Homo-oligomer: A and B are copies of this chain.
């Protein structure tokens, strides 16, 4: 669909929502970013996946990449409370084999620096993450962390300072702590971290399609009226 037509459709679909809802959409969109993205490798506890997605949504992270291996990715709506509907989730793998490679190529093509999160001794502190780079943060499975493949494709590893006996934070907690740190730094910076006009239109269109009742029908009717000349019979 060309951008002009998409804009018109957005205007039309928006007219079915309240002013308050439209302004909420614009407010949330103005806070979305793709400069930071999250990659989840083979999480098996749905409450963790759900809490991660909820935090991503709240911190304005639009894209989440999910590599499925031994475990099928699932969320628990009691915890995600609908947040999965407002972010874009990209899946790799077919539940029997990891597909770290496809995910890696996609991230690299999009210009991401790949940062593993791992509580091992070679990991650096969060300050070592340079937010001038686009950053993809990798989080591994609950018990064993990231796979060897995931560690190999990473540019470097980071960890959060810990002062106790426990070896690591819960994965959804770790992800949220790092996202807060990075998004606060981004929002305070002069970097161009927001979505482009075109990206905003694409996301807004998809949100409107989900939010407006009978949106499919409305779009079909709109296109028909716009493309076909009015019936002059």
Contact = CB atoms under 8 A, between A and B. Distances in A.
A83 B47 CA distance: 19
Contacts of A31: 163-164
A86 interface: yes
Interface in A154-184: 160, 162-167, 169-170, 172-173, 176-177, 180, 183
The 4 closest A-B pairs by CB, nearest first: A31-B163, A51-B170, A57-B164, A60-B163
Interface string A19-42: 000001000100110000000000
Chain B CB within 10 A, most for which of A24, A50, A55: A55
A182 to B, nearest CB: 13
A166 B28 contact: no
Nearest to A31: B163
A54 interface: yes
Interface in A102-157: 142
Contacts of A24: 165
A54 B165 contact: no
Given A54-B169, A170-B55, A60 B164 contact: yes
A207 to B, nearest CB: 9
B163 A28 contact: yes
28 contacts: A24-B165, A28-B163, A28-B165, A31-B163, A31-B164, A45-B47, A45-B79, A50-B170, A51-B170, A51-B172, A54-B170, A55-B169, A55-B170, A55-B173, A57-B164, A58-B162, A59-B163, A60-B164, A78-B142, A81-B166, A82-B166, A83-B164, A83-B165, A86-B164, A163-B183, A172-B173, A173-B173, A176-B177
B173 A83 contact: no
Contact of A51 (B28, B163, B173): B173
A173 to B, nearest CB: 4
Given A79-B170, A81-B166, A83-B164, 14 more contacts: A28-B164, A31-B163, A45-B79, A54-B166, A55-B170, A57-B164, A58-B169, A59-B163, A82-B165, A86-B164, A170-B172, A173-B173, A176-B176, A177-B177
A58 B176 contact: no
A130 B45 CA distance: 36
